[in-house]
Amino acid sequence: MASAQDVVTIELGLTRDRKLEDVNAETIEAIGPQDHFVGGRDKAAQLLKEAGHSVTVTPEDNSRVLRKIDLAILPIVLTIYALQSLDKTALSYASVFGLLEDTNLHGEQYSWLGAIVYVAQLIWQPVIAYLLVKLPLAKFCATMVLCWGTTLCGMAGAKNFGGLMATRFILGSFEASVAPCFIAIVQMWYRRSEQTLRNAAWYSMLGVVNILGSLLTFGLGHIESDVLDSYQIIFLFCGLLTVVFCVIVFVFLPDSPMQARFLKGDDKLLAIERLRMNQMGVSSGEWRWDHVKEVFLDVKTWLWVAMLTAVSIPSGGITTFGPLIVKSFGFSSFATILFNMPFGAVQIVATLGGAWTATRWKMKSPILAALCVPPIIGLSILLNVEYDPKNRGVLLFAYYITSVYPAISPLIYSWSGQNTGGDTKRKATTAVLFIGASAGNIIGPHLYRPSEAPHYTRGLRSNLALFVVIVVLVGMGAVYMTFLNKRHAAARERMGKSAQLVDLSMADAKTLGEHQKAIDDGETAAGVGDKAFNDVTDLQNEDFIYLL
């Protein structure tokens, strides 16, 4: 029989240019069926099989390939999300420049314009999940970018509530795919230790848009036209910008590591092999109903759905009514736009800072709980301080620290993504999470009634309570992950593996180098990685380590 070290060497891909036919029968028997090694259901396994050899992922190779991936993928992803955020918030900017008056909006009609986008996203999420598994990811994403940019241009022609509702619903239908696409892209390209910062990077574009979008809107609002109103100019400009950028997405964004033209030689194999210890797979192209069933039976799913719904209710309300809240402090329309810029700066710092801290600590739950504290303080101030010009400084401070809340959502998405295995299960889980988030964004604007201006007491009070609920849910999630880790450890022990594993998917390049000996330790890692590309779920894979 082969030694434990031989088994580990094969399964973790630590040999370069070793032909598969040279692996002796005793070693294959020791690790289980051959398709567990190279043949599984995941397309990554097929590429490794066709290559005829495995590769060593040295810390140097890992850093080099990661740089290539970042340069090729991140600029496109970040720009798409910035454009989507700009297109989505164009409504709130337009509200400051006469949209409500020119289209004769009254009652809760403006609230419904904010909510209808999320109604569309809620409806389309199950279809999006299926398409993300079955279709080429990048081409699907590029098509959606083209369609929503065109729709936004069409919003400039809407003259009343009915026209605006129709175009906003269509806009939401196409935008429904964007964030799920990005979560899938991050899971497909990055190790678990790298995913949180990348998810935070594209999500932080919300803050960038709040800054640059405010400046852009400030400039567009000064354009004088006898043909178009200011809000129509805003819609047309943002829509055309999106349509132009979709060409870049079509040409340069690859569908997967297996189709990446910017990776040459063994770099494709390195890009795949470095993901083995994620225990999550890459892409299968096969829709599996057993994975879908597990999504709905998994307690984790509903904890994350509850968290996202709870944070999306304040998000939906504040995003739609934020500029109007600032305007109620006693500012003009143009001053309101400018004073909304620091809101974006706080979002960027909070989102990237929270992600960096969570990555460094290798834990999400304490950071998520901590991020709820500033909004709780800010909302308390907004509820208890009189809206008077003399209190502008205090009110703006409260509004700005409330804007820490956008940092919560990407951490929840990362927490979910890093704790879910299996291609269909990952994408189905993301769909269910976005249904919860969409429901929250639908509810949110309706808690803010125009008749309650300027204080919007009901909306602010409900938002305050929800941030407290999130803290409780995060604690429950951490306890449940701890239970699952203990259950997997017991399963490994029953199978003759070590109960304690080194989670290399969360290690940085330096730590990987320092733990090379641990990787080769048969007592520590024997058998780890043999199901990594077999398209099995996290609950089915005893080697899967849940992150708190």
Q: What is the pLDDT of residue 285?
A: 81
Q: What is the pLDDT of residue 320?
A: 67
Greatest pairwise CA separation for the chain in angstroms:
85
Domains of the chain, by residue range, sit at 59-483
Domain 59-483: homologous superfamily in CATH = MFS general substrate transporter like domains (1.20.1250.20)
Q: What is the residue-wise DSSP string for 482-504?
A: HHHHHHHHHHHHHTTS-SS---G
pLDDT tens column, 84-121: 988 777 887 787 777 888 888 887 788 788 788 889 99
For 19, the 3-state DSSP assignment is strand
Is pLDDT of 7 > 70?
no
Q: For the residues 381-405, what does the mean pLDDT come to? A: 90
For 29, the 3-state DSSP assignment is helix
Model confidence band, residue 411 (pLDDT cutoffs 50, 70, 90): very high
Is pLDDT of 496 > 80?
yes
Is pLDDT of 305 > 50?
yes
The two counts, helices (H) then strands (E), for the chain are: 26, 0
Is pLDDT of 521 > 50?
no
Q: Among 14-23, 166-175, 387-396, 420-429, which stretch is predicted with the lowest mean pLDDT?
A: 14-23
Give phi and psi for 450, each to the nearest 5: -55, -30
Closest CA to 266 of 54, 532, 64: 54
Of 66-80, 431-445, 498-512, give the range with the top mean pLDDT: 66-80
Is pLDDT of 350 > 80?
yes
Q: What is the pLDDT of residue 11?
A: 33
* Spatial contact of 375 and 463, defined as CB atoms under 8 Å apart: yes
Work out the percent of the chain whose per-residue pLDDT is above 90: 51
Q: For the residues 337-345, what does the mean pLDDT come to? A: 81
What is the pLDDT of the chain when averaged over all its residues? Answer: 83
Q: What is the pLDDT of residue 357?
A: 96
The region, left, alpha or beta by phi > 0 then psi within -120 to 50, assigned to residue 42 is beta
C-alpha pair distances (Å), 298 with each of 127, 430, 471, 521: 21, 13, 21, 33
Q: For the residues 23-40, what does the mean pLDDT come to? A: 33
Q: Among 176-180, 280-284, 407-411, 413-417, which stretch is predicted with the lowest mean pLDDT?
A: 280-284
Q: How far apart are CA 409 and CA 437, in angstroms?
A: 9
Give phi and psi for 536, each to the nearest 5: -105, 155
Q: For the residues 120-124, what does the mean pLDDT come to? A: 94
For 287, the 3-state DSSP assignment is coil
pLDDT tens column, 182-236: 999 999 999 999 999 999 999 999 888 878 877 887 788 778 888 888 888 989 9
Is pLDDT of 517 > 50?
no
Report CA torsion sign: 52, 269, 12, 292: negative
pLDDT tens column, 125-158: 999 999 999 999 999 999 999 999 999 999 999 9
Is pLDDT of 263 > 90?
yes
Is pLDDT of 244 > 50?
yes
Work out the percent of the chain whose per-residue pLDDT is above 70: 87
Query: Who has greater pLDDT, 341 or 364?
Result: 364
Q: What is the residue-wise DSSP string for 138-174?
A: HHHHHHHHHHHHHHHHHHTT--SHHHHHHHHHHHHHH
Q: What is the pLDDT of residue 529?
A: 61
Residue type present at position 422? G
Q: What is the pLDDT of residue 151?
A: 95
Is pLDDT of 283 > 50?
yes
* Spatial contact of 237 and 87, defined as CB atoms under 8 Å apart: no
Is pLDDT of 322 > 70?
yes
Q: What is the pLDDT of residue 224?
A: 82
Q: What is the pLDDT of residue 335?
A: 81
* E-strand stretches of 349-413: none
Model confidence band, residue 512 (pLDDT cutoffs 50, 70, 90): low
For the record, the structure tokens of 366 come out as 């304490």
